[in-house]
Structure 1
C-alpha cells in the first residue's frame, strides 16, 4: 500500500466511520477499486486506522471523557462494550473471512438502507435525551445491537444508533452514545489486531505492530492514514449531528441502497471478485 492509497482509504474511513453507511464496506470497495493487494498489512490497516477516528471523538467530547468523578459514564461504556469483546474474540476468524467478501457488503448495505428509510417511523417514542438517564441495562442492549455490525456492510454506527433509538433515546443522543461507545469498541479491536493477534507473514508469525514496522512504507502509511482519518472524522461528526437533528436517516438509507446496488452490479459483472 503506497502513501496515496493510504490517504484515500483514510479519507473514506474518516468520512464513513461515524455515519450509518459502513466504513468497512466503503474501505473494502475503495481497496478493490484501486486494486490494493489484500495483504495482511491491508487487513490490519483497515482496522488500525480506526485509531485516528477514535481520537477525534475524544478530542471533540473531551469534557465528557475527563469527568473522572462521573464513574457511571465509564461504567456504562464498559457494560455496553462487553458483548462486542466476547463475540469478537469468539468469531474473529469468521469476521476476517467476511471482510474479503464484496457480496456480503453489497447485500448488507441494501438491507441496512431499507431499514434506515423507515427507522424514524418505527421508533417514534423518544423519552431519553440525556446520557445520565441511560441505564446500565439499556447500555448493554445497545451493545448487543452493535454486535450486528460485525457483519461487514452493516455499519457499527447504524447498529448502535438504531439500538439507542429502540431503547427510546433521541436521535441525537443515540448518535452521541454511539460515538462514545465507538472509543472502547474500536480501541479493543485495534489493540487486539496490533498487540495480540498473530499474523502469518510468509510463514513467520508476527504481531500487528511488527507488521507495521517491518517496512518504511507500512510505517508511513499507518501514521499518515491515522492523521488523515482523525481530521476527516472530526468534520464528519460535526456534520452528522446537525444533519441528523434536522433531517433524520432517510438520505443515508437511499445512499446505502444505491451504493449496495452499484456494488452488487460490480460483483455480478466480475469487476469485483
Structure 2
C-alpha cells in the first residue's frame, strides 16, 4: 500500500484520538485535516468509522474495572442500575434526533466553513460558562439525578452540528446543570460509549458496501494510532480538570475557527447556500 496513504492514516488516527474527548470537536478536526490531506472522499468517511471505534474502545479499556462492576451488578445492585438508567436517559435525545436528521446533517453541514463557525460559537459558549463560575452540587457521577442526565443528553444533541464537540457539549452541560468538573468529564466519557457505538454501527450499516479488504492495513494503522492517542488524551484531561478551567480550549477553538474562515474565505457563499 502507498506509504503516503499510510502516513495520512497515522495522522488522522492521532487527530481523532487526541480530540475525541477534548472540548474541541474531533469531527471538526477530521473534516479540516481530511480536507487538507485530500482524504475526505467516500473511502475517507469509512476510515473515520474505524478510528472513532478505536477511540471509544480506548475509553472502555481505561474504565474497564468500572464497566465490569456495572456488568456484574446491573441485575441486582441499585447503584449500578441507576448508573445504567442515567446513561440511557442521556443517550436517548441524541439517538432520536440523530436518526431523524443524520442524512441532512451529513449532506449540508460537513464542510470547513460550518465547522469553523461552530468552533467559534462553541469557544464563546465555553468562555461564557466559565465566567459564570457555577457552583457544583454533585461531585460524582453516582450522585447525579436522572433530570441532570436528561439535561446533559439534550446538551449532547447540540454536537450533531459538526464543530460543536460532543465532549465540549456534555462537559459544559454537566457543569451548567450542577456537576463538578471531574464528574462532568467522567460522565462525558461514559456517555460516549453508547453514543459512539451506536453512531459507529449505524455508519457501518449505511456504508457497508464501501468496506474493502485491501484497506485493512490503512484501517489498522489509523485504529492503532487513534487508540493510543485517545488513552493519552483521557488521562491528560482528567489531570487537567483537577486544577484548571476549560478557557484555554475556548481560545484554541476561536483561533482555529478564525484561521479556517480566512483560508476558506472563497467558500463562504457555497457553504451557506449563496
Q: Do the two structures share a fold, i.e. TM-score over 0.5?
A: yes
Mark the runs of 5 or more structure 1 residues left unpaired by the alignment.
200-206
The corresponding residue for 1:211 is 210
Instruction: Please give the alpha-carbon distance, in whole angstroms, between the structure 1 residues aligned to 2:21 and 2:43.
Output: 23
Q: Are 1:73 and 2:75 an aligned pair?
A: no
Structure 2 length as normaliser, TM-score?
0.89
SS of the residue corresponding to residue 2 of structure 1 reads helix
1:174 to 151, 164, 184: 184
Residue 59 of structure 2: aligned partner: 57
Are the aligned partners of 1:109 and 1:153 in contact in 2 as well (CA < 8 Å)? yes
Q: 2:222 aligns with which of 222, 225, 228?
A: 225
The aligned residue for residue 77 of structure 2 is none
Q: CA deviation at 1:145?
A: 0.4
Per-residue CA deviation, residues 176-214 of structure 1 (Å, 9 max, x unaligned), is 1001000100000001111x32x4xxxxxxx2xx422x2
Figure out how many residues of one structure are paired with residues of the other and give that number: 259
CA distance, structure 2, for counterparts of residue 149 and residue 47 of structure 1: 17
CA RMSD across the alignment:
1.9
More helix by share: 2
Aligned-pair CA distance for 1:147: 0.5
Shift of 1:215: 4.2
Distance 2:104 2:252 in 1: 27
Gaps of 5+ in 2: 74-79
Q: Contact conserved, 1:123 with 1:166, CA < 8 A, in 2?
A: no
TM-score by length of 1: 0.90
Q: Distance in 2 between matches of 1:224 and 1:142?
A: 34
Contact 1:52-1:227 at 8 Å conserved across structures: yes
Structure 1 residue 130 corresponds to structure 2 residue 129: no
Report whether the alignment pairs 1:33 with 2:43.
Answer: no
After the TM superposition, list the runs of 4 or more consecutive aligned residues in structure 1 that deviate by more than 3 angstroms.
Answer: 269-273
Q: Which residue of 2 aligns with 1:142?
A: 152
